[in-house]
Structure 1
Amino acid sequence: MIPPAAAAAFLAANGWADAAILPVAGDASFRRYFRAVKDGRSAILMDAPPPHEDPRPFIEIARWLGERGFAAPAIHGIDLDLGLVLIEDFGDIRMRETVDNDASRELALYEAAIDVLVRLHREEPAVVPSYDRAVLHREADLLTEWYCPALGIEADQAAYDAAWNAVFDHAFTGPVVTVLRDYHAENLMLIGDDTLGLLDFQDALAGHPAYDLVSLLQDARRDVDERVETAMLARYKAATGAGDAFDVAYHVLGTQRNAKIIGIFTRLWQRDGKTRYAALCPRVWRYLNRDLAYPELAPVKAWFDATIPAELRGDPMVLAA
């Protein structure tokens, strides 16, 4: 984690000359993060190098959220040519470790996270691309593109696409809202009086409100108790008036998101050498299997049952060994 060559000059130009530059844990993308520390204050330096990364969507959505009272990082400095952005530092206290270390806080923090989504979904959606059928298909195809070949499974792609086509109408039954897409406990920071700070929203799209609930309640990185999931869905529905169609969309989008994640995690292992992601796949399979049990998912369940037997639903690195 060596800072980019231009980091010192960029920081100096934005009022942070001679700041110490310390690495911060990153994510699964090409983005890297550093903490600039000077005179008892700190900020986060995002290194989003072109052509792999474009920080403009992050900047635009951060400002859109901030203008509406959500806790997104303030932007302190930008150099688009270098792919450098200086943003507000929300610290290191994530919702994930907080609930893992203190079970007594789990319910209240998940309620707070649901309430953020309730507020967000009352806003007119941001000007972002649509989470349309083509995007849903492209993401679901990551499973047949990466997971199936890794295990030597010959997938009938036409049948797979047809199965999804039979259920995707349910993903367009609700209002259109801003979908942050990676809304989960590792991207929610506790700041100040336990305000939830938002991160990793640069890929936002306009789509169904159930998607971010799936991201939160079927978290690929930590186990969410089914009782918590049920209670949080009920809380959201009570606040928004969502009905049974919302439940169907939730499970359809849950199946789609979990299939996508299994494909992405397999790719991160095979292509990028990030083996830790393969080990997360068994949890994601558990969520996916639960979603597939929903009656409206019958066409997709039939494809999975015919193509990927139960004993091949797990850690692809272990199963391929």
Structure 2
Amino acid sequence: MEASPIEVALGDEAATKRLGEDLAMAVRPGDVLALHGDLGAGKSTLARALIRALADDATLEVPSPTFTLVQSYETRVPVHHFDLYRLGHEDELDELGFEDAFAGGVALVEWPERAGSRLPQSALTVELIHEGEGRRARISGSDEAMARIGRSLAMRGFLTGAGWGSAQRRHLTGDASARSYETVRLAGEADRILMNSPPLVLGPPVRDGKPYAEIAHTSKTVSAFVAIDKVLREASICAPEIYAQDLDNGFLLIEHLGSTGVLDDARNPIAERYVAAAELLADMHGRPWCAHIEVAPGIVYDVPPFDRDAMLIEADLLVDWYVPAVSGKPADDALRARYRQEWNVALDRIEGFEPTLMQRDYHSPNLIWRAERSGHDRLGIIDFQDALVGPTAYDLASLAMDARATVPRDVEQATVNAYLARRRAAGPVDEAAFLEAYALMAAQRNSKILGIFVRLHRRDGKPGYVKHLPRIRDYLRRALAHPALAPMHAFYEEQGFLEEREL
């Protein structure tokens, strides 16, 4: 379906370049942008800005492809710039690899009418029209593509309202959810982060008429981030300052805490930084937290509990996704019932154990190392919107068995020891009970992650997560080695969950 066209006034060349950046933040592999306009309308200026934004290189040489007909660039998304003005016949497109160009990348096509029937019907149309001293861009395309572009343009509008309308936008990262992040730069100012967190789209019901996200208490709006950020900062924890917010649309302009993490250049854990992160965590667990947080006048966010249903629906991802992937067939009812029974028995042992503000993903991607600072201020914390009220042991398991980095056993032990030493210094702690809870939460988390990483590969087309599976299986073996988990360990061994498997 064709959505209503979007029109953008372009008062000068700088505005045309900003539109190129805004389009660069929205394009996806497979997109074809048909650039229409008279000579001098700004098509090449728009294309050049888009390519430079994808390359994150404002000085990248982007010559006009008038004579070569096509120029290709290996950017974040491969991009191919066509100028078909000199094309004799559409059959010549075969020699240019026209269809291959947009199979796995983005194609920008000037003079697209010369492509004739070879231009995909799904192509986005970007028409540049002279208007007074400037231009007007008219963009049209499918509902899905126009939704992406419309959101990117809304983000530019949000920046304008925050006084950053002329900022340069560059893709920073996306995560396993629909959230994405950009670095925005404005002359004379420190870089900031533009957070794009659209309201969560709930999936179909999976149990008791409820969707997975509702049972697992996944954050539904950006209000969750704002709320957790507020209580962390009030506790003098280094979380980003929020400079501007649009709670309805899910846009935040926040502080850029830095780009250095807790891993070295080879992505190995730096033991001293993991120890520092454990000590910060221990101090956070030693204080009370408010779970009823005012986000804005009249808007209150209640931090959900990490209850039994949430723990089980997460653990079920192993049988929902991992088991079918490695066995070639769905898990049957008998296996599911036995799996649930083992987990319920184990979870009974830690019912109500040491509830705290549980950040849920306290691990290397979300920890920023600030070497110039001292004490706990050396660590910045991000990506905490899915926080729950749950066991203290969970976040330590998330850190010490980091899903995104291979933590050697000695570093894991040093991390756990540092946490417990800090807890002991603050008062009595039942270490035996804590270590049992730590092992169980590690087993729960890594069972969940085995399923999630397969789901990201099979359902969401993100194969890069599969490479982490051997590490996650190793973490599961470590966790299940605790004597209290012997029955579950035996069950996992019996079912082959811990075996090295290829997908």
TM-score relative to the length of structure 1: 0.92
Does the 8 Å contact 1:170/1:245 carry over to 2? Answer: no
Shift of 1:192: 5.7
One-letter amino acid matched to 2:273: L
Does the 8 Å contact 1:173/1:245 carry over to 2? Answer: no
Query: Residues 309 and 61 from structure 1, CA distance in 2 versus in 1: closer, same or farther, beyond 3 angstroms?
Result: closer
Bigger Rg, which one: 2
Alignment of 1:159 onto 2:299: no
Alignment of 1:2 onto 2:25: yes
Alignment of 1:47 onto 2:196: yes
Query: 2:404 maps to which residue?
Result: 221
1:206 equivalent among 379, 382, 389: 389
Cα distance in 1 for partners of 2:417, 2:495 equals 34
Alignment of 1:20 onto 2:20: no
Query: 1:139 maps to which residue?
Result: 314
Cα distance in 1 for partners of 2:403, 2:380 equals 20
Q: Which moved more, 1:229-238 or 1:168-177?
A: 168-177
Does the 8 Å contact 2:315/2:447 carry over to 1? Answer: yes
Structure 1: state its 5+ residue gaps.
none
Q: Which has the higher contact order (CA 8 A, sep 6+)?
A: 1
Partner SS state of residue 316, structure 2: helix
One-letter amino acid matched to 1:43: R
Aligned positions of 1:1-321 closer than 5 A: 2=25, 4-40=152-188, 41-52=190-201, 54-97=221-264, 100=267, 106-127=270-291, 128-151=303-326, 152=328, 154-155=331-332, 156-172=335-351, 174-191=353-370, 193-194=372-373, 195-241=378-424, 242=429, 243-308=431-496, 310-311=498-499, 313-314=500-501, 319-320=502-503
Shift of 1:232: 1.8
Cα distance in 2 for partners of 1:299, 1:146 equals 23
Shift of 1:279: 1.3
Shift of 1:15: 1.7
One-letter amino acid matched to 1:130: P
Structure number having the greater strand percentage: 2
Partner SS state of residue 221, structure 2: coil
Query: Residues 60 and 144 from structure 1, CA distance in 2 versus in 1: closer, same or farther, beyond 3 angstroms?
Result: same
Shift of 1:298: 2.0
TM-score relative to the length of structure 2: 0.59
Partner SS state of residue 36, structure 1: strand
Q: Which moved more, 1:195-204 or 1:125-134?
A: 125-134
Partner SS state of residue 285, structure 1: helix
Query: Residues 99 and 109 from structure 1, CA distance in 2 versus in 1: closer, same or farther, beyond 3 angstroms?
Result: farther
Cα distance in 1 for partners of 2:340, 2:194 equals 41
Query: Residues 51 and 229 from structure 1, CA distance in 2 versus in 1: closer, same or farther, beyond 3 angstroms?
Result: closer
Does the 8 Å contact 1:170/1:252 carry over to 2? Answer: no
Percent identity of paired positions between Structure 1 and Structure 2: 38
Query: Residues 164 and 204 from structure 1, CA distance in 2 versus in 1: closer, same or farther, beyond 3 angstroms?
Result: same
Query: Residues 275 and 99 from structure 1, CA distance in 2 versus in 1: closer, same or farther, beyond 3 angstroms?
Result: closer
For residues 116-139 of structure 1, the C-alpha deviation after alignment (integer angstroms, 9 at most, x for no partner) is: 101211221341111111111111
One-letter amino acid matched to 2:253: L
Does the 8 Å contact 2:279/2:419 carry over to 1? Answer: yes
Shift of 1:93: 1.4
